[in-house]
Amino acid sequence: MDIAIRGYFEFLFPLLLVTWAIFGIARFTKTLDLIGKIGKPVVIAFSVLITLYPFTGLSLAEYLLSLNPNYSIGSIVFFFIIVCKEFGRKPLLSYKNLLQFSIWNVGISLCLFASYLGFVDFDLYALGYGFSFWFVVTALLTIILTLLRNPLSFIFILYIISFDLKLLYSNNFFDYITDGVLFLISLGIVMFAVVKFLILKYRKSYA
Amino acid sequence: MNKNIEIRIREIKRQNMARYLIILLIILLYLIPFYQNYLVLNKERSWDKMKVANHDNILSFSDKPFYSEDFVYQAKPDTMCHVSSICSAGNNKMACTWYAGSRENAEDVAIYFSIFDEEKASWTNPIVLVDRKQCSRELNRYIKKVGNSLIFDDKNGRLWLFYVSIVMGGWSGSTLNYKVSSDGGYTWSKSRKMILSPFFNLTHNVKNKGINFDDGSFLLPVYHEFIKKFSQLVWVRPGETAVQYEIRKMSREKKAIQPSLLHTREKDLVAFFRNMASGERNYILMAHSNDLGQTWSELNNTPLPNPNSGFDMIKLSDGAYLGVINNSFYDRSNLTIVISCDKGKTWKSLKILENTPDKRYAYPSISRSGQGFYHITYTFESKKIKHVVFNEAWIKQLNGYCN
């Protein structure tokens, strides 16, 4: 993949993140209702402007890329799904699927980070550079999800398509699957779900 | 009714067919990395298939013992300099980098560069190769500060500057960037970031030089300081449009960082590590690899003391290991050239370069020039970068040399 294409592709995550944040602010301040029908296109145009225009020498996208130079396909898909919610009546992923996706992200990230940061002996990250048994594992998971008609299978297919096309600067397959930001967001979603579940259980037992 | 069942059956068949097609697509997509790994890459550029470039045939042109000392750089008042790195720049020239600023980890730290001409025995005026603003401009990223640098010459005569940049925090927030020069250090490419870690790209730092492979790729020793301290090895593969990396762990247990790599024979490597363990008497650690650095043995103590300080090693033309170390358990007031004639089992002190109580002589870097001279640079009392040159004839006449 041409370096220039990667250079543009890396701005996708910051753009989606900022768009999501501005939609959130616009909804909270009821600005969207005030603007009317053109509200959503205006939000998108505004997001593109403040994400990509270098107001202080660097653009907001470049600041976000300074914190994490490699946002995974998982992160991009996650924010694409929640930004798409602003446009479609039916979300691309149900809450149940989103929770499944978050559990997957937390699980794989914990294993990967524990291995990479030296908490366990096994060097999992090294398996991501070339075809290894890890590729067989993800291929099998993708096939199983497809047979189960689980929409997460499309995300898994995107992992391998983007890896084959080398859309990211990293040449490690794990960097296409997860990253620190996705881990933290997914952990938040899983913890929220666990707390919600425990509260409901607690209420039921005392009802 | 039957018609409805038929339509339903046809619908299920169509859905199944679509699913089988998707599964076929998945298999094809995974066959691409399989094909690249086992059918294309393995033939040409697999880590297993690499051969270390041979530098051992470089002999000193002079039989007369030669030794000299000078200074590369004198820091301005109220500033310091540290972490020098030296390598051959071709045509009887040596390239040296270091950083200088108001203090370690300060925002005004810049990486300096100078070239030594062996014919004229003089250094060029130091220039700033990169500071945080230039780094930020070249990477289009926010950079708070820059730090350690390493200069390394690859098999194709290109100079590589690997240097640390930090967005937030201290050394544990460092990430690596590189610049390349194809004309002996006169012009440099823009900085590029290396993505080596899945967790916010944290963290990598450099100290000692790597090992060249025959095909122009090379091994770069790096170390990690976020939460745990350990060493890693990066196989850097320069391509036509991009540079690719693979990273492997060198150590897990113990706090072993700043590896100094030596090639012993064929696929065998030995690495010596700075020991950051707590405790009063720590030794330089050692590990072996017999697959060109993909896997490493457990760490063992060498007999060499290490006061939690950086050092460097090189292999002489006769196979002896030459090291420049702080020969003390307690501080960096002594800097000594040591030699091992039995592959690191025993060591002898050859020459005390510095020995002044309460002063600091640190972070030596050693490299051999095309003419067979050995060049050492190190931090001299935090204020200067000192340069020592000698040849093998000088080493051989010292007491303690292998005979």
pLDDT of residue B357: 94
pLDDT digits (tens, 9 = 90+) for A167-205: 999 999 999 999 999 999 999 999 999 999 999 999 888
pLDDT of residue B256: 94
B132-158 b/e (C-beta count within 10 Å ≥ 16 → b): bebbbbbbbbbbebbbbbbbbbbbeeb
Mean pLDDT calculated for residue range A66-70:
95
Average pLDDT score over chain A: 92
Which residues from A are below 8 Å from B197, CB to CB? 116, 125
Query: Which residue has better confidence, B370 or B335?
Result: B335
Is A131–B36 a contact, with Cβ atoms under 8 angstroms apart? yes
DSSP string spanning B327-358?
Answer: --SS-SSEEEEEEESSTTSS-EEEEEEEE-TT
Mean pLDDT calculated for residue range A97-103:
96
Mean pLDDT calculated for residue range A152-158:
96
Strand partners for B98 = B112
Question: 3-state SS string over chain A?
Answer: CCHHHHHHHCCHHHHHHHHHHHHHHHHHCCHHHHHHHHHHHHHHHHHHHHHHCCCCCCCHHHHHHHHCCCCCHHHHHHHHHHHHCCCCCCCCCCHHHHHHHHHHHHHHHHHHHHHHCCCCCCCCHHHHCCCCHHHHHHHHHHHHHHHCCCCHHHHHHHHHHHHHHCCCCCCCCHHHHCCHHHHHHHHHHHHHHHHHHHHHHHHHHHC
Distance separating alpha carbons of residues B310 and B119, to the nearest angstrom: 30
pLDDT digits (tens, 9 = 90+) for B270-319: 999 999 998 889 999 999 999 999 999 999 999 999 999 999 999 998 89
Distance separating alpha carbons of residues B310 and B323, to the nearest angstrom: 11
Distance separating alpha carbons of residues B42 and B54, to the nearest angstrom: 22
- The domain spans of chain B are 1-40, 62-396
Contacts of A108 (CB under 8 A, 6+ apart): A177, A178
Residue B18 has pLDDT above 80, yes or no: yes
Residue B61 has pLDDT above 70, yes or no: no
Residue B43 has pLDDT above 70, yes or no: no
| Helix, strand, or coil (residue B311) | coil
Q: Which of B141, B190, B296, B299 to mutate to test the interface with A (most CBs of A within 10 A)?
A: B141
Average pLDDT score over chain B: 92
Q: What is the pTM of this model?
A: 0.94
pLDDT of residue B220: 98
pLDDT of residue B160: 97
Distance separating alpha carbons of residues B128 and B76, to the nearest angstrom: 14
Is some CB atom of chain B closer than 8 A to the CB atom of A170?
yes
Contacts of B185 (CB under 8 A, 6+ apart): B89, B95, B113, B115, B159
Fold of B62-396: Neuraminidase (2.120.10)
Which residues from B are below 8 Å from A105, CB to CB? none
Is A171–B29 a contact, with Cβ atoms under 8 angstroms apart? no
Mean pLDDT calculated for residue range A104-120:
95
Question: Which structure tokens are listed for B192?
Answer: 């590029």
Is A125–B37 a contact, with Cβ atoms under 8 angstroms apart? no
Is A66–B142 a contact, with Cβ atoms under 8 angstroms apart? yes
% residues pLDDT > 90 (chain B): 78
pLDDT of residue A39: 83
Residue B2 has pLDDT above 60, yes or no: yes
Is A118–B230 a contact, with Cβ atoms under 8 angstroms apart? yes
Mean pLDDT calculated for residue range B62-88:
93
Is B26–A169 a contact, with Cβ atoms under 8 angstroms apart? no
pLDDT digits (tens, 9 = 90+) for B130-153: 999 999 999 999 999 999 999 999
Cα distances (angstroms) measured from residue A66 to each of A22, A71, A203, B143, B172: 21, 11, 45, 8, 16
Closest in B199, B200, B246 to A67, CB measured: B200
Q: Which of B14, B29, B217 to mutate to test the interface with A (most CBs of A within 10 A)?
A: B29
Distance separating alpha carbons of residues B366 and B343, to the nearest angstrom: 18
Q: pLDDT category, B399, cuts 50, 70, 90?
A: confident
